Chains A and B, each alone.
Chain A
């Protein structure tokens, strides 16, 4: 149950700048203009307003880090130091008293005045006391006495204690007003400036905490990498291989299989200590070529013996994680394949497409044989068809067809539907029946 907020004053809107001010204010907080008689009272849901006001007032401020904890907390959420028990019967008085007490206890600790709880940033105050050559204890005693007696509240405390609810509310508002009027009320530009400062500080705090999170993430990433390495070594350990070898029961085989698959994933994941310019020095490209060959050999054979250079570059760089190589270095390393007698070759097609090939499994003869078989069984093919059949990139499929064409094994049909490749009837029929269909007057030539 509560009485109408007519006893206290409802929030009002400044007639000059339309700023919404607290009910007790005599001047506008923003422009400093005194309240006009006809200023519009703001209609706010009392219950809501009071709930907000209550929650603000009943913060339990931590004496160590000044964090505003929820009233129900006994320890600070931030720094885990013990909070002072709150006198709930006289919320505001207790709060203010506590705030002062905090300042007294630890003079060097910065402390916000509890009155700032009403949201007006201009009321934030910092009290810092320092003592040289004694005097602190006597000051403390005096201060403590003053705080305990709460002389500045004597008048109001009776009414506030007698009438809980709406009346107490009204009293509290009034008190905060009196507290405010003792300080010089600032309006206008200085208020805006201090508001801006406050926002800036809040942003600063947010940023700092955000970067703290990032640091934590980095730390975690290192840990996870360590963990992955540990798992890898475990899987490679003799015990694991024994487990794989044993493979007696089905479940064992299953685990072994899974372990193998997992190991494969880890292998795919990265290269342990990639070659860099720093470690290899002058032999960088040679070393890079060797590592590249080791890494790509499996992949190339899986892809039918040919991988476009671009794909290989992406794949390899992904495996290197952080120490990426330049495309130029990559190509130079690939060019050294044959000089180093490695099993892969860099091949440049006449169109300029570069591909890494395993010459054993990707010879032209093999490709031509395959494509001829496709044409025999599926009819004429386009590059698209071939890409689907061979599961290779479109550019490579095109190149393969062109290889066949250059070898006069296929011929093309260009139409609105695109380029389609047929088996080469021209050459086949020529070799089959030359001179049979003698042209007219052949004898004359």
Chain B
């Protein structure tokens, strides 16, 4: 399910709440649930950031260590996880990617596309890349971007980020025959 293999020198340090059994039960009380959901959102985002992950298939994810604490024998239910992801989508930190708009799979943006967009645009301006055409592959995997944070970014997130730049008038996308063949040209902010 992960699109990018993460180099894990050290294990992710789970927060204290991860060992609190009620954390894995959907709280019926509204205010309690809001807090619980916020904590789950935080945990998912920091976990995905740490491991540099992006996509999630809900039914498979609930058996991951993130949602299944073997020490206290608790795991999150799929429908509860769906509610959490729903909230992430509402915040712009995730989007549903399941076929036919089903809510079975999603993409987690531990950094929002807008943030990626500004990072990429800054890189372009710093390196004098304006008015030049890049392919997606070059951006994500090219030699020029090895030092950059967005090196190795998964294509869907990258596309989202560039969409944002295009919307701001800072880039132009050239759509080819396939998704891989997209080209992009950066502009000064207009």
Contact = CB atoms under 8 A, between A and B. Distances in A.
Interface of A: 380, 405-406, 408, 411-415, 420, 422, 424-427, 429-430, 437, 439-441, 444-445
Contacts of A414: 25
Contact of A411 (B29, B45, B46): B29
Nearest to B92: A445
Interface residues on B, range: 20 to 34
B36 interface: yes
Interface stretch (B16-24, B130-138, B149-157, B175-183): B16-24
B27 A412 contact: yes
A420 B41 CA distance: 24
B32 A422 contact: no
Contacts of B20: 422, 425
Contacts of A380: 21
Contacts of B38: 430
Most chain A CB inside 10 Å of its own CB: which residue of B21, B24, B38, B74? B21
Contact of B25 (A413, A430, A445): A413
Contacts of A415: 21, 25, 73-74
Label chain B's interface by main secondary structure: helix
B70 interface: no
A340 B10 CA distance: 70
Contacts of A422: 20-22
Nearest to B36: A426
Nearest to A420: B21
B45 A408 contact: no
Interface string B69-93: 0000110000000000000000111
B112 interface: yes
Given A413-B24, A444-B114, A406 B73 contact: no
B31 A427 contact: yes
B28 interface: yes
14 contacts: A411-B25, A412-B25, A413-B22, A413-B74, A414-B25, A415-B74, A424-B32, A425-B20, A426-B27, A426-B35, A426-B36, A426-B39, A441-B115, A445-B92
A360 to B, nearest CB: 27
Interface of B: 15, 17, 20-22, 24-25, 27-29, 31-32, 35-36, 38-39, 41-42, 45-46, 49, 73-74, 91-93, 110-112, 114-115
A411 B23 CA distance: 9
A411 B115 contact: no
B74 A408 contact: no
B108 to A, nearest CB: 11
Most chain A CB inside 10 Å of its own CB: which residue of B15, B35, B110? B35
Top 8 nearest A-B pairs (CB, nearest first) are A426-B35, A413-B21, A413-B22, A411-B22, A414-B25, A430-B35, A439-B42, A408-B31
Contacts of A430: 35, 38
A297 B178 CA distance: 81
A414 B26 CA distance: 9
Contacts of A425: 17, 20, 22
Contacts of B74: 413, 415
A440 B49 contact: yes
A426 B41 CA distance: 13
B38 to A, nearest CB: 8
Nearest to B110: A440
A406 B21 contact: no
B32 A426 contact: yes
Contacts of B46: 439-440
A380 B72 CA distance: 14
A10 B115 CA distance: 123
A433 to B, nearest CB: 12
A437 B38 CA distance: 11
B73 A411 contact: no
Contact of B111 (A413, A426, A441): A441
Most chain B CB inside 10 Å of its own CB: which residue of A406, A408, A429, A439? A439
Contacts of B111: 440-441
A246 to B, nearest CB: 59
A412 B42 contact: no
Nearest to B113: A444
Contact of A444 (B17, B28, B29, B115): B115
